[in-house]
Structure 1
Amino acid sequence: MTRTVGIIGLGLLGASLAKALRVYTTYDVIGYARRQEICDVALAEGCVSQAFTMVEPVITGADIVVFALPPEMNGRLFEEVAHLFRPGQVVTDVSSAKDEFASTVYEHIPEGVHFVSIHPMAGSEKGGYTEAHQDLFQKMGWIVLEHEAQLAYDATVARELADMGRAVGSRIEYVEMEHHDKYLAMVSHMPHMLASIMITTAGGDELGDKRMSLSAGGLRDSTRTASGLPSMWQEIIYGNRMNVLKAIENVEQELATVKQLLHANDNGGSLGQYLERAKQIRDRLPSLTIDKQ
């Protein structure tokens, strides 16, 4: 029997997931979008088999419901519609920060409904339905959040969601729920803030355009994420702000170390050692992010 995935939010991630599931799996996919014109386009393109501007028919018509709105909106909406879920249904989400949404789900989820969160590590500087495509998740990370201590967690559901990620081309990582937001603060949210800081420092004053005209690939590569949708990143980073603050404190400690190395009267020897260690760490990155299935 074909299972149905209902996706609440047909933006970049939600619509890309819908398209990928329609192409690479046997799931039926239905969706919610706030605007009728998005529903119409999604139906015309075959992104979903049904599209609604109301959330209720997506919940009642799906076996797996994916919350793909911004994290704060996901939480508010789930609180409003939790009573619609029936035993055996699956709730998941694709948020970049998990703690707030997960807390809301655990507080309001009906008995017998399962909740396993996922985080597809995919995206773009641009958002919205028009940027969505079926191969967004190819060779990208797909995190499945484990939380055995919660009654709503189900290992069988976790395996199904992991299989879903494999089917759309992702590599699977399992992470404990309690660690996820701390890890992502370090590898995603804090780096985004640093990109914003760097580009503002380099180009934010009256000499900025001249300096940036002299830049090469290094500035573009290291500040790429600063071109991301500000409203989306504001919510992601502020929603995980305590972990981001801790990550920034770690950066401040590293900056203090580097300042000491630059003050050292050793012809740059200790600085060279620091740069060599950083290179060794960076060179491990490709081996840690290849497909390990």
Structure 2
Amino acid sequence: MKTKLAIIGVGLIGGSLGLCLKEKLGDDIFITGLCRTQKSMDLALERGAVDMASADVKAVVEDADIIFLATPVLQMVPMLKKILPHLKEGAILTDAGSTKAYLWQHIKDILPAGIHYIAGHPMTGREKSGVEAASADLFVHKAYVIVEDTGAPPEAHERLMAILRHTEANFLRLDIQKHDRCASIISQVPHVTEAALVTLLNQSAGDMESCLKLAGGGFKDTTRIASSNADMWADICMTNSEAITSHLRDLQAILGTVIDAIEAGDREAVHHYFAASKERRDAILDRTGKMYDLV
């Protein structure tokens, strides 16, 4: 039986999922995509990420077996309220949101019986956004979190995973709270920090031109995701604020300790800071390198 998948937001993540599944499943899957503009619809169709694109919510989600929410996080709940009246009994709702507790808190009270929500978070991305940046291999070997504590039955999980396994992602199960804490440390605080480094450069005033001449691959790599979609990241900070602010304060304390050691001329303490960091990072990469492409 042909699977009908509706992608809400055919951008980088939604578009990449569409490209992957059309490449792997061909005519065994029919993909509809909700796009805001005619230009986005045309590009999604041209690239082959969807079989049908529309700005009409009902036309996109009606009769869909699986609905994949891939909008910025703060747009997901309002969008869900729009699509719920048009979902069929037994439909599976999943998402690509980077924060999970906020979504579940708002979704659980409006989700009708017979509509199964399975929270997800593919830990992948690029500094560019939009379906033009989408790629069929975006998920390959990347961590993809599936949250199991949202009440969906095992058969719904298996139906969803039968489709998502084609992404060749590395799937793992986490509860909602642990997901949000870990995502903050691994992805969200680093992004805030990268943006801060760009801001620091921007505030260098008269040194800007000289700094730019010195900026090589290291600066480019370190600040890569500072070029990511601002709407997405603002929403992430608003919906995982407790974990992000707590970890930023922890980071602030670490930097404060380093500042004190440098100001005191304590080379041994500074050396220990770098040596311990190198040892820990090397151990992490050795342990995980064969399992995941780390973000």
**TM-score greater than 0.5 by the shorter chain:** yes
Give the aligned partner of residue 279 of structure 1: 278
Counterparts of 1:225 and 1:155, CA distance in 2: 36
Letter of the 2:234 counterpart: Q
Aligned to 2:17: 17
Please give the residue correspondences for 1:1-293 in structure 2 after superposition, counting only pairs within 5 Å.
1-25=1-25, 26-147=28-149, 150-151=150-151, 153-206=152-205, 207-263=207-263, 266=266, 268-286=267-285, 287-291=287-291
SS at match of 1:66: strand
Q: 1 CA distance for matches of 2:239 and 2:176?
A: 16
Matched residues, percent identical? 26
C-alpha distance after superposition, 1:175-229 (max 9, x if no partner)? 1112222211111111111111112213323222312322333222221111222
Q: Secondary structure at the match of 1:143?
A: strand
- Cα 1:289–1:235, aligned 2, differ >3 Å: closer, same or farther? farther
Deviations 1:100-145 (A, max 9, x none): 2222221111112111011111111111121112111122121111
Q: CA deviation at 1:263?
A: 4.5
**In the TM superposition, what is the alpha-carbon distance from 1:288 to its structure 2 partner?**
1.9
Question: Structure 1 264/160 Cα, relative in aligned 2: closer, same or farther at 3 Å?
Answer: farther
Specify the code of the residue in structure 2 equivalent to 1:237: C
198-207 vs 171-180, which moves further: 198-207
Distance in 1, Cα, partners of 2:244 & 2:174: 18
Give the number of the structure with larger relative contact order, counting CA–CA contacts within 8 Å between residues 6 or more apart.
2
Q: Which runs of 5+ in 2 are unaligned?
A: none
Q: Secondary structure at the match of 1:108?
A: coil
Query: What is the DSSP-based 3-state SS (H/G/I as helix, E as strand, rest coil) of the residue aligned with 2:109?
Result: helix
Shift of 1:9: 1.0
> What is the alpha-carbon distance in structure 1 between the residues aligned to residue 115 and residue 64 of structure 2?
13
Task: Kindly indicate whether the alpha-carbon contact (under 8 Å) linking 1:85 and 1:110 is maintained by their aligned counterparts in 2.
Answer: no
Evaluate the alpha carbon distance shift between residue 229 and residue 45 of structure 1 in structure 2; reply closer, same or farther with a 3 A threshold.
closer
Bigger Cα displacement from structure 2, 87-96 vs 132-141: 132-141
Contact 1:144 1:158 in 2 (8 A): no
Distance 2:289 2:57 in 1: 36
CA distance in 2, matches of 1:41, 1:211: 38
Structure 1 stretch displaced more, 95-104 or 3-12: 95-104
For 1:117, what is the secondary structure of its paired residue? strand
TM-score (norm 1): 0.90
What amino acid maps onto 2:95 in structure 1? D
Runs of 4+ residues over 4 Å off in structure 1: 263-266
1:280 Cα deviation from its structure 2 partner: 1.7
In 2: Cα distance, 1:65 partner to 1:169 partner = 19
For 2:224 and 2:174, the matched residues in 1 are separated by 27
